[in-house]
Amino acid sequence: MQGVDLHTHSNISDGTLSPEQLVRAAGEIGIHTLALTDHDTMDGLSLAEGAAKDLGIKLVSGVEISSQWSRPATKKNYGVHIVALNMQHPEPLLALLEQQKQIRAVRAKQICDLLIPLIGEDIYADVVAKVDNVPDRVTRTHIAKTLVEKGYVSRAQQAFDKYIKEGKKAYVKFDGLGLEETIQVIHASGGFAVLAHPTRYDLSATNIRYLIEIFAQFGGDAVELPPAVEPLGTRQMVDRMIAEHGLKVSVGSDFHGDNMPWIRLGNIPRVKEGQAGIWESFV
Ligand code: AMP
Ligand code: MN
Ligand code: MN
Ligand code: MN
């Protein structure tokens, strides 16, 4: 499915292009249907609309929600990203995002506080400066970048591995809304709920299958197809789960600009015979 990208980030969260620059970049490579899906915020949408109109690009409202689910068998809570697309009346979702933003702002400060004894410096002011001093836009990507710039690590990935990923001393869980409620609020806003990057949560195959199963049970609409870099067996397993549960598919690059230069805008997986694209349901 050429010309569609339903998972992208701008500098309103942890991308590097402004929403307007993102739309222009999409126009240059022939994208006709684009969703801006920043983390827990839809603040970039209005900034992207003018350029999209100029270029005749269908700009789909979107957001990537930090949600969570649990598996009774393991008694563990897992983070999961739900991409909400094409909201027709976004008010219920916007109310939820206000809570998510608060969680994000508080967590940014908590992570920086936990880093103080580890690096001997409070980097909070520098971190928040990366997002126009709006604390509720801070992601761990910004914290990782700040740690690189200050010389505490040499690459962003190292900041995650050493300090801020799960299990490390400055990790703070994102205590977001549960999976079922997230899907309900998206539907109450007239949008579609998409399970983002199912193979990127460090889950066992059994847990990926369980996650897709409960996502479908809770009324989720579509699953993102994993990128071609994932092992064939994993991609086929996701394809089987999508078919088994009658889910649609979504396609997105998860573009982050220069923060993840190896991901190219518009680079999306191939849709297989018999799979129904969620974009075909957009009004
Ligand atoms: P947050 O929502 O604040 O937890 O930040 C999540 C973002 O950090 C993700 O969208 C990725 O862009 C990035 N990220 C998460 N985990 C890693 C990791 N292990 N290595 C590099 N980047 C990561
Ligand atoms: Mn991100
Ligand atoms: Mn994500
Ligand atoms: Mn993303």
2: pLDDT confidence band, cut at 50, 70 and 90? confident
Pocket test for ligand 1, best of 40, 141, 142, 197 (most atoms within 8 A of CB): 141
For ligand 1, say whether the CB of 64 is within 6 Å of any of its atoms.
no
Residue 139 domain-assigned (yes or no): no
For ligand 1, say whether the CB of 140 is within 6 Å of any of its atoms.
yes
Task: Choose between 71 and 147: higher pLDDT.
Answer: 147
> In the predicted model, what is the mean pLDDT of residues 129-143?
98
Per the DSSP assignment, residues forming a β-bridge with 81 are 66
Give the closest residue (by CA) to ligand 1 atom 3: 139
Q: What pLDDT digit, counting tens, does each position of 37-48 carry?
A: 999 999 999 999
> In the predicted model, what is the mean pLDDT of residues 252-275?
97
Residue 192 domain-assigned (yes or no): yes
Residue 235 domain-assigned (yes or no): yes
Q: What percent of the chain has pLDDT over 70?
A: 100
Residue 165 domain-assigned (yes or no): no
Strand ranges of the sheet holding 58-60, from the earlier edge strand across to the other edge: 4-5, 33-35, 58-60
CATH code of the domain in which 88 resides:
3.20.20.140
Atom of ligand 1 nearest to the CA of 108: 3
Residue 90 domain-assigned (yes or no): yes
Residue 233 has pLDDT above 80, yes or no: yes
Residue 56 domain-assigned (yes or no): yes
Average pLDDT taken over every residue of the chain? 97
Residue 146 domain-assigned (yes or no): no
How many domains does the chain fold into?
Answer: 1
pLDDT of residue 1: 64
Residue 6 has pLDDT above 70, yes or no: yes
Sign of CA dihedral 157, 160, 165, 168: positive
| pTM tops 0.85 | yes
Residue 74 has pLDDT above 90, yes or no: no
For ligand 1, say whether the CB of 254 is within 6 Å of any of its atoms.
no
> In the predicted model, what is the mean pLDDT of residues 166-185?
97
Q: What pLDDT digit, counting tens, does each position of 207-220 carry?
A: 999 999 999 999 99
Contacts of 201 (CB under 8 A, 6+ apart): 78, 79, 80, 207, 208, 211
Residue 118 domain-assigned (yes or no): no
For ligand 1, say whether the CB of 165 is within 6 Å of any of its atoms.
yes
Reading the block at residue 249, the tokens are: 């598919």
Residue 17 has pLDDT above 90, yes or no: yes
pLDDT of residue 73: 82
What residue numbers bound the domain in which 80 lies? 4-99+174-281
Q: What pLDDT digit, counting tens, does each position of 150-160 carry?
A: 999 999 999 99
Pocket test for ligand 1, best of 12, 41, 139, 174 (most atoms within 8 A of CB): 139
